[in-house]
Chains A and B, each alone.
Chain A
Amino acid sequence: MSSQYINEPLLDMFIFESSQLIQQLEQDIIISERESYLSELAIDEIFRIMHTIKGSAAMMCFNNISTLTHSIEDLFYFLREENPQDIDYSTLCDLVLEVVDFIKVEIEKIKNGDDADGDASTLINANKDFLSRLKQFSPPSDTTETKSHISPDTQQIYISQNNGFAPHSANLFKTVIRFDEGCEMENVRAFNIIHNLKNITNEIRHIPENIVDSDAARTIQNDGFIIYLKTDCSYEEIHQHITRTAFIKDLELDQLSNNEQFGQFEGGVKIQESKGQGYKEQSNKGQTEKELQFTSAGQSIISVSVAKLDKLMDLTGEMVIAEAMVSQNSDLKGLELDNFHKAARQLHKITSEMQDVVMSIRMVSLSATFQKMHRIVRDMSKKLEKEVELKIIGEETEVDKNIIEHISDPLMHLVRNSIDHGLESLEDRRATGKMLAGTVTLEAKNAGSDVLIIVRDDGKGLNKEKILARARDNGILHKDESDMTDREVYNILFLPGFSTKESITEFSGRGVGMDVVTKNIEAVGGSVSVDSLERVGTTVIMKIPITLAIIDGMNISVGNSRYTIPTTSIRESFRPQEADIIRDPDNNEMIMVRGQCYPLLRLHEIYDVKTDITKFSDGILVMVEQDDKIVCIFADELLGQQQVVVKSLPSYIRNERKIGGLSGCTLLGDGSISLILDISGLADFTGKDIKN
C-alpha cells in the first residue's frame, strides 16, 4: 500500500463502501438470475459498481481486486454497448458471484489487517474467456476505444475562427513537449493542449497526427509531442499558454523563420474548419437561459461511524444514571421542594425522549440481513438440486445495530438447516404430493420489547423418535423420555454435539451449527425455540430483545444488596401467606397461587446475602416469567421502577467464575450497584442444589 494512503478513515471508507456495493451487486445478480434476464438498468448498475470498486481498490493499491473488477467492468461494458443476444445467463451469474465472493474474502482480510493477497488470475481469465466467447457470437465491431463519442475527423486540426481577421499571421512556432513520466494518457493530454491552443492559433499541426489511438501515448512518451503552429501571439504568450498545462516535463519552443518547415505537412494532413464557432454560439445561448430547474433536494442523510454512535449511546446511559442520581439524591429526603421536582420532572422527560431518539438512530432494519439469505438459498438449491422459494415477511422490522451483527450467522445456519435437513428431495416431495418447490419463510415481527425472527420450512418436519434415539446414543438425555413435552424434545436439537443428519454435507457442517445458534442468540439476551409437525414442516423462532442498552427495571432489595428485574418479565408481585407455601418431597419450596403451583426462589439463599427477612410474610414475592417458565422470587422489598443502563459484569468477576442468573449490572441513582437478574437463568436454579 502506498504510504500516503495509509489513512484509517480512508481505509474504513473503502471497506464500508465496497462491502455495500458488493452486497447490492449480489442482489442485482440474484434477481437477474431468477428472471434469466439482465435489464439494461442492471447491466449499467453492475458496470458502475465494478467501475467504482476498481477505482477505489486501485487507489488503495489492492491490485488483485482492481484488476479483477476491471475484467468484469470490460465484460459489462461490452454487454452495455453491444447488447449481444444469447447470453449464457447462468454462467454469467456464476462468474459475477464468484467475483463477489473473491472480493468479499479480500475485504475481510483487509478488515483484519491482513494483506489482500488472493490470486484472482483464474477468475480474470474466466471473465476474459466469457467476453471473447461473447464477442465471437456478436457482429464484429471495434468496441472500447474506437466507439468514441466524438467523430474522429473533427479533432485533428483546428483553424481558429479569427482566421479572417489576421490573414498575415506572422509567427510560426515549432514546439516539442515531453510529459512527466507516469502522468498517464499522454495522447489525451496532447489533445488537451491542442484544444486549448486552437483559439489563439490560425493553423496548427502536430506529430503524431493521430492522437485518438492509445498507441499515440507511447509515441509521445518516447519522442515527445511536436506541434507546428501559426499564430498572432508572441513567443512569450505561446510559451506561457503551453506551460499552463499540467505535467509538462520539458518544453522546447522555437520560432521558425519561414514557411518551409511548416509547409512540409500541408499535404499530409487534411485541414478542417473548426467546430469552435458553432460551439461558442451555443454556449452564449446557454447563458441566457441558464437557470436549470433541478428539484432534487439537498443531502438529507449522512453516514456516521458506529463508534460515534456507541459513544453517544454510552453518554446517554451516563446521563440517565446522572439524572437518577440528582432526582433521587439522598440529600433531598424529607425536603419540600415543589420547584425542584417540577424541574426534575422536566429533566426526566427530556432524558427519556433523548434516549428514545438515540435508540432509534441505532435501529437498523433487518432487510439487508434477510436479503443476504437469497444468495444462500440460491447456492444451496443449485448444489442440492432442490427447488426452494424464499419468502420474506416483515423485513422492515428494526433492531439495534449491535444485535443485527449477532443474528446474521445464526440466521444463515437456520436457513441452511431448513434447506438441507428440512426440505425433502424432489422425489420425496413428489411422492407425498407436495408442491415440488419447497418454501422457506423468513419472518420478523415485533412482540413487546422483543423481536421475533421466524424461520419456517414446509419440509418433512422433525421426527421425535429419531431425535430421542440420537440423544440417547450421544448421552445428552437428562430427563425421562416419557416426561418430556414435544417442545422439550425438539429443543434437544440445540444441545451441543447433536445432529440428526446421518451424512455431513458441505453446508450444514458437523452438527455444531444449532448450538452455535443458541449461543449467539443468548449472547444478546435472546432465546431460541423450535416447533414442528411431521410431514408439514418445522418452525424455529428466535426471540431477541430490540435493544440491549437500556431497559425498564424493577429494583428490589435483599439485605444490603440491590437487584433489578426486567419489567417485561414481571407478571405480578404479592405478599404471600405462610399457608400457601408447600414443600415437595425434595424439600423444595413451592407456592400455590390461584390453584397453580410455582417454584420459589429465595434470592438471599442463592446469592448468600445476609438479611433479617427470611419469613415469607415479612418480604415480598415477585412472579416472573420467561420462555414459559415461571418462578416466584422472594425479596425483602420493592424499591421502585426505573430505567436502568445495562452494563456487563466487570471482566475480573466474569473471569473468576460464571455466576448464574445474572445478566449484568447497573448503577442506581444513589450510586449503589444493582445486579440485573437473568430470569431464564434463574429459572434453571429451581429444583437444583444451588450451592453447587
Chain B
Amino acid sequence: MLRNTDVIELWKESENLMKRVLIVDDASFMRMAIKIILQKSGFEVIGEAENGVVGIKKYQELQPDLVTMDITMPEMTGIEALKEITKFDPKAKVVMVSAMGQQAMVREAIVNGAKSFIVKPFKEDHVVETLNKILEM
C-alpha cells in the first residue's frame, strides 16, 4: 500500500520532471498565450514578469529551467535582462520571443547567450519544439 510519504515522493518526482519556466513579457496577452501553450505541453510556468528588471529578480528568486524573454519591454529590454541573467547564471537557458523584423536584436541576443528564439506570431508546436531542443542541450 502507498503511504502518504510515498505519494508525496512520487508527486515530488513528477514535479521534478516538469520543466520550470519563467515568462518575461510586457504584454499580459502574450504571457497568457505562452502560458496556455506551455501548460498544455507539460511545462510548469513558475513565474511571470512584465519587464526586464522584474525578470532578472524573478530569475534569481526562482532559478527556472527555462526563460522565455520578450525583446521590446519598458524599464529594461529583453536583451539587457538577458545579459544580466547570463552574468548571474552562465548556464541560463533563455529563449528570445521576437517579432518579425527584429533580426538584428535576435542576433545580438544570441551573441549574448540566448539559446534560441521564437518568432511572433508563434505556433504551438514551434514553441514546444524550440523549448524541448534547448532542454536537450
A residues neighboring B (CB under 8 Å): 4-5, 7, 9-10, 13-14, 17-18, 45, 47-48, 51-52, 54-56, 58-59, 61, 66, 144-145, 147-150, 155, 183-185, 187-188, 191-192, 195, 212, 214, 244-247, 279, 283, 286-287, 290, 292, 294, 296, 299, 303
Q: A184-B100, A294-B57 are in contact. Are A287 and B87 (CB under 8 A)?
A: yes
> Which parts of B83-137 form the interface with A (CB within 8 Å)?
84, 86-90, 98-101, 103-108, 110-111, 113, 116-117, 119-124, 126, 129-130, 133-134, 136-137
A to B CB contacts below 8 Å, 5 in the list: A48-B74, A52-B72, A150-B111, A192-B116, A286-B88
Q: Is the CB of A149 within 8 A of B56?
A: no
Q: Which residues of B contact A51 (CB under 8 A)?
A: 72, 99
CB distance from B47 to the nearest CB of A (A): 10
CA distance A59 to B60 in the complex (A): 30
Q: Is the CB of B88 within 8 A of A247?
A: no
Q: Is B10 located at the chain interface by the 8 A CB criterion?
A: no
Known: A48-B74, A55-B30, A245-B133. 14 other contacts (CB 8 A): A7-B36, A10-B32, A48-B26, A52-B30, A55-B120, A144-B101, A149-B105, A185-B98, A185-B106, A188-B103, A245-B116, A286-B90, A292-B88, A294-B56
A-B complex: 5 closest residue pairs judged by Cβ atoms: A286-B87, A184-B119, A58-B121, A148-B104, A56-B29
Q: Is B33 located at the chain interface by the 8 A CB criterion?
A: yes
Q: Which of B84, B110, B136 contacts A195 (CB 8 A)?
A: B110
Q: Is B54 located at the chain interface by the 8 A CB criterion?
A: yes
Q: Is the CB of B72 within 8 A of A292?
A: no
Scoring B residues 42 to 68 as 1 if CB is less than 8 Å from chain A, else 0, what string do you get? 000000000001101100100000000
Q: Which residues of B contact A58 (CB under 8 A)?
A: 120-121
Kindly report which residue of chain A lies nearest to residue B132, judged by CB atoms.
Answer: A246
Q: A10-B36, A149-B104 are in contact. Are A48 and B72 (CB under 8 A)?
A: yes
Q: Is the CB of B120 within 8 A of A214?
A: no
Kindly report which residue of chain A lies nearest to residue B101, judged by CB atoms.
Answer: A144
Q: Is the CB of A55 within 8 A of B103?
A: no
Q: Which residues of A contact B17 (CB under 8 A)?
A: none
Q: A51-B99, A245-B133, A290-B87 are in contact. Are A13 and B124 (CB under 8 A)?
A: no
Q: Is the CB of B105 within 8 A of A290?
A: no
Q: Is the CB of B107 within 8 A of A4?
A: no
CA distance A59 to B122 in the complex (A): 7
Q: Is the CB of A10 within 8 A of B104?
A: no
Q: Is the CB of A195 within 8 A of B101?
A: no
Q: Which residues of B contact A48 (CB under 8 A)?
A: 26, 72-74
Q: Which of A52, A61, A287 contacts B90 (CB 8 A)?
A: A287
Q: Which of A45, A187, A290 contacts B88 (CB 8 A)?
A: A290
Q: A148-B107, A185-B106 are in contact. Are A52 and B53 (CB under 8 A)?
A: no
Q: For chain B, what secondary structure do more than half of its interface residues adopt (helix, strand, loop), or is it mixed?
A: helix
CA distance A232 to B125 in the complex (A): 34
Scoring B residues 1 to 35 as 1 if CB is less than 8 Å from chain A, else 0, what string do you get? 00000000000000000000000001111101100
Q: Which of A52, A185, A246, A292 contacts B84 (CB 8 A)?
A: A292
Kindly report which residue of chain A lies nearest to residue B105, judged by CB atoms.
Answer: A149
Kindly report which residue of chain A lies nearest to residue B95, judged by CB atoms.
Answer: A246
Q: Is the CB of A150 within 8 A of B107?
A: yes
Q: Is the CB of A188 within 8 A of B110?
A: yes
Q: Which of B28, B57, B99, B123 contacts A54 (CB 8 A)?
A: B99
Q: Which of A45, A149, A245, A247 contacts B108 (CB 8 A)?
A: A149
Q: A145-B104, A247-B129 are in contact. Are A14 and B29 (CB under 8 A)?
A: yes
Q: Is the CB of B120 within 8 A of A185?
A: no
Q: Which of A17, A188, A283, A294 contacts B117 (CB 8 A)?
A: A188
Kindly report which residue of chain A lies nearest to residue B32, judged by CB atoms.
Answer: A13
Q: Which of B90, B119, B134 contacts A283 (CB 8 A)?
A: B90
CB distance from A41 to the nearest CB of B (A): 10
Kindly report which residue of chain B lies nearest to residue A276, judged by CB atoms.
Answer: B111
Q: Is the CB of A191 within 8 A of B110?
A: yes
Q: Which of B36, B54, B104, B133 contacts A246 (CB 8 A)?
A: B133
CA distance A52 to B133 in the complex (A): 27
Q: Which residues of A contact B30 (CB under 8 A)?
A: 52, 55-56, 59
Q: Which residues of B contact A66 (CB under 8 A)?
A: 121
Q: Which residues of A contact B89 (CB under 8 A)?
A: 290
Q: Which residues of B contact A247 (CB under 8 A)?
A: 126, 129-130
Kindly report which residue of chain A lies nearest to residue B83, judged by CB atoms.
Answer: A286
CB distance from A116 to the nearest CB of B (A): 15
Q: A184-B100, A244-B137 are in contact. Are A13 and B126 (CB under 8 A)?
A: no
CA distance A212 to B101 in the complex (A): 12
Kindly report which residue of chain B lies nearest to residue A74, judged by CB atoms.
Answer: B101
Kindly report which residue of chain B lies nearest to residue A11, judged by CB atoms.
Answer: B29
CA distance A516 to B52 in the complex (A): 48
Q: Which residues of B contact A292 (CB under 8 A)?
A: 56, 60, 84, 87-88
Q: Which residues of A contact B98 (CB under 8 A)?
A: 185
Q: Which residues of A contact B36 (CB under 8 A)?
A: 7, 10
CB distance from B37 to the nearest CB of A (A): 9
Q: Which residues of A contact B87 (CB under 8 A)?
A: 283, 286-287, 290, 292
Q: Is the CB of A13 within 8 A of B28?
A: yes
Q: Which residues of B contact A191 (CB under 8 A)?
A: 107, 110
Q: Is the CB of B136 within 8 A of A244?
A: yes
Q: Which residues of B contact A155 (CB under 8 A)?
A: 107, 111
Q: Which residues of B contact A47 (CB under 8 A)?
A: 72
Q: Is the CB of B137 within 8 A of A296?
A: no
CA distance A191 to B107 in the complex (A): 7
Q: Which of B60, B73, B107 contacts A188 (CB 8 A)?
A: B107
Q: Which of A56, A144, A185, A188 contacts B27 (CB 8 A)?
A: A56
Q: Which residues of B contact A287 (CB under 8 A)?
A: 87-88, 90
